[in-house]
Amino acid sequence: MNPDFNKNEDVMKMTWGEVKKRKEKIEEGGGKKSIEKQKEKNKLTARERIEYLRDKDMPFIEMGSFAGYGMYEEYGGCPAGGTVAGIGYVSGKQCIIVANDQTVKAGAWFPITGKKNLRMQEMAMENKLPVIYLVDSAGVFLPLQDEIFPDKEHFGRIFRNNAKMSAMGISQIAAVMGPCVAGGAYLPIMSDETLMVEGNGSIYLAGPYLVKAAIGENIDNETLGGAVTHTEISGIADYKFSTEQECLQQVKKIMSKLGKNAPGIFNRITSIPPQKDPAELYGVFPEGNKKPYDMLDVIERIVDASSTPGNSSFDQFKMEYGKTILCGYARIDGWAVGIVANQRLNIKNKKGELQIGGVIYNDSADKAARFIMNCNQKKIPLVFLQDVTGFMVGSRSEHNGIIKDGAKMVNAVANSVVPKITVIIGNSYGAGNYAMCGKAYDPRFIYAWPSAKIAVMGGEQAAKTLLQIQVASLKARDKKITEADEKELLSEIMDRYAKQTTPYYAAARLWVDEIIDPADTRKIISESLTAANNNSDIEEFKTGVLQV
Which percentage of the chain shows pLDDT scores above 70? 98
User: So what's the pLDDT on residue 398?
Assistant: 87
Highest mean pLDDT among 93-102, 198-207, 351-360: 93-102
Mean pLDDT over 434-456 rounds to: 96
pLDDT at 290: 85
Query: Is the pLDDT confidence value at 12 over 80?
Result: yes
What pLDDT is stored for residue 353 in this prediction? 80
* Separation between Cα atoms, residue 109 and residue 100, nearest integer Å: 9
pLDDT, one tens digit per residue, over 315-334 is 999 999 999 999 999 999 99
The band of 91, judged by pLDDT with boundaries at 50, 70 and 90, is very high
The pLDDT of residue 295 is above 90: yes
> In the prediction, which pLDDT does 186 show?
87
DSSP state of 305: B
Which region, left, alpha or beta, applies to residue 36 given φ > 0 means left and ψ of -120 to 50 means alpha?
A: alpha
pLDDT value of position 1: 60
pLDDT digits (tens, 9 = 90+) for 377-425: 999 999 999 999 999 888 888 888 888 989 999 999 999 999 999 999 9
Tell me which of 519 and 356 has the higher pLDDT: 519
**pLDDT of 157-215, one tens digit each?**
999 999 999 999 999 999 999 999 877 788 999 999 999 999 999 999 888 888 888 99
**pLDDT at 45 (0 to 100):** 96
Nearest-angstrom CA–CA distance, 243 and 177 = 9
> Does residue 14 surpass a pLDDT of 90?
yes
- Where helices occur in 436-520 by DSSP H, the ranges are 459-476, 483-500, 503-508
**Are 339 and 330 within 8 A, CB to CB?**
yes
pLDDT of residue 548: 60
502 pLDDT tier (thresholds 50, 70, 90): very high
3-class SS of residue 438: coil
User: What whole-number distance in Å separates Cα of residue 283 and Cα of residue 265?
Assistant: 36
Task: State the average pLDDT for the chain.
Answer: 92
Counts of helices then strands in the chain (DSSP H, E):
20, 20
Residue 47 has pLDDT above 90, yes or no: yes
| For range 15-31, the mean pLDDT | 97
Mean pLDDT (whole number) for 123-138: 96
Rg (CA), the chain: 25
pLDDT at residue 121 greater than cutoff 90: yes
pLDDT tens, residue by residue, 446-458: 999 999 999 887 7
Rounded CA-CA distance 53/133 in Å is 12
More confident residue, 137 or 473: 137
Model confidence at 57: pLDDT above 80: yes
- Per-residue pLDDT at 454: 94
Confidence of residue 485 (pLDDT cuts 50, 70, 90): confident
For residue 547, the model assigns a pLDDT of 65
pLDDT at 459: 66
The model's pTM is 0.94
Beta bridge partners, 383, equal 339, 421
| pLDDT of 481 over the 80 cut | no
The pLDDT of residue 97: 98
Total count of residues recorded for the chain: 548
Task: Work out the pLDDT band at 240, boundaries 50, 70, 90.
Answer: very high
What is the per-residue pLDDT for 537? 83
Q: Is the pLDDT of residue 103 over 80?
A: yes
Question: Could you please report the per-residue DSSP string of 111-178?
Answer: HHHHHHHHHHHHHHHHHT--EEEEEEE--B-GGGGGGTSSSTTSTTHHHHHHHHHHHTT--EEEEEEE
pLDDT bin (cut points 50, 70, 90) of residue 483 is confident
Q: How far apart are CA 527 and CA 334, in angstroms?
A: 11
- Cβ-based neighbours of 473, under 8 Å, separated by 6 or more: none
Q: What is the mean pLDDT of residues 369-373?
A: 97
- In the prediction, which pLDDT does 261 show? 76
